Structure 1
Amino acid sequence: MSRDPENSSETAGSRDPGSRLPLVRPPGIRVIAVIVALEATALLVAAIWYGSQLLTGAPVLSFWGAVFTLGLLLAFSAWLIAVALFLFRGYRWPRAGALVAQLFTLTIGFPTMTGGYPLAGLAMLVPAVLAIVLLFDKRVIAFASRAGGAPPAL
């Protein structure tokens, strides 16, 4: 059976799921959350532009393929917004989502940079590398370790 701590100093340094006192949010969490939120915003803007082009009758090979692409842009944008929000709150699961998003950004940013668009490529690569480095910072890992769900039984 679990017991309540007798003084608040027992919970100040720990981060168990039943704890009510949060740890101090490290600046790395804020930076990663802002990077992921900006990527989500960029995808949302791309989806709006893509959808407006689709509505104005821009030629496409497959209309339903274009609708599917629009749906993917919107879904990925919503997913990144959730990742940024829950990472900022300190949950554990968004770290993996943020890492995967940054790896996808690297796979697009590097060919963009070497393919003749160096500024656009660097605009993708620099934040992605910064977010990846910060995701493995000890303070970020310690803060973003809250599991969702019910508190432990014992």
Structure 2
Amino acid sequence: MSRPPASPSDPSPEPGDGGGFQHPSTPETSSSPGGRPRAIAAISAIVAAEATALLAAAGWYGLQLVTGAPVLSFWGAVFTLALLLAFASWLYAVAVFLFRGFRWPRAGALVAQLFVLTIGFPTLTGGYPLAGLAMLLPAAVAIVLLFDKRVIRFASRAAGSPPAL
């Protein structure tokens, strides 16, 4: 069943076209045969890898906490562990919802990459060049890809509404 247009400027929907709604993953808006730009998959993979690294750091931190590593404040260390776990789960959510084409994870992914850059530069110049490059290069790639036209076009869907562009 077709619904009438929301405003007079909207074209009237054709029968059987889903009421005029076109998902951003249709072939007309993508650069790959599957409908999703490869840049979206790359950004999602980078963000998911960063979340996995944070999860590994949280596991190592928790293990050190359990084995009795000296800390100034036990509850402060527990709070730090909770922050690591929360940020890792937030990054996983950003990766998943960006991959699905939602709008809000673009800002979250950009902020996460800026945080990685602020840690990567001191790491690089502080005597750990491989670790610094391992942080800086993926973050720089993700930032560049986040501003690609195809990524913006694909990841412009608000929750429960048709694409914005």
Q: Do the aligned partners of residues 21 and 142 (structure 1) sit closer, same or farther apart at CA in structure 2, a change above 3 Å counting?
A: closer
* Cα distance in structure 2, aligned partners of 1:43 and 1:21: 31
- Greater C-alpha Rg: 2
Aligned to 2:128: 117
Letter in 2 for 1:30: A
CA deviation string 1:105-150 (max 9, x = no partner): 0000000000100000000000000000000000000000111035
RMSD of the alignment, in Å?
Answer: 2.0
Letter in 2 for 1:19: Q
Aligned to 1:130: 141
Letter in 1 for 2:40: I
CA shift for structure 1 position 20 = 4.9
Question: Which stretch of structure 1 is more off in the superposition, 141-150 or 69-78?
Answer: 141-150
Asked whether 1:4 is paired with 2:13, we answer yes
* Cα distance in structure 1, aligned partners of 2:121 and 2:74: 30
Kindly, what percent of the aligned residue pairs are identical?
71
Asked whether 1:19 is paired with 2:22, we answer yes
**Does the 8 Å CA contact 2:24/2:153 hold for their aligned counterparts?**
no
CA shift for structure 1 position 65 = 0.3
Q: Do the aligned partners of residues 21 and 90 (structure 1) sit closer, same or farther apart at CA in structure 2, a change above 3 Å counting?
A: closer
Letter in 2 for 1:135: L
Q: Which secondary structure state, in structure 2, belongs to the residue aligned with residue 80 of structure 1?
A: helix
Letter in 1 for 2:114: L
Letter in 1 for 2:83: L
Q: Which secondary structure state, in structure 2, belongs to the residue aligned with residue 116 of structure 1?
A: coil
Runs of 5+ consecutive residues of structure 2 not aligned to the other structure: 6-11, 27-34
TM-score, normalised to structure 2's length?
Answer: 0.82
Letter in 1 for 2:53: A
Which is bigger in relative contact order (C-alpha 8 A, separation at least 6)? Answer: 1
Runs of 4+ aligned structure 1 residues displaced above 4 Å come to none
Asked whether 1:44 is paired with 2:44, we answer no
Letter in 2 for 1:140: V
Runs of 5+ consecutive residues of structure 1 not aligned to the other structure: 12-17
Q: Do the aligned partners of residues 50 and 142 (structure 1) sit closer, same or farther apart at CA in structure 2, a change above 3 Å counting?
A: same
Aligned to 1:80: 91
Aligned to 2:30: none
How many pairs align?
145
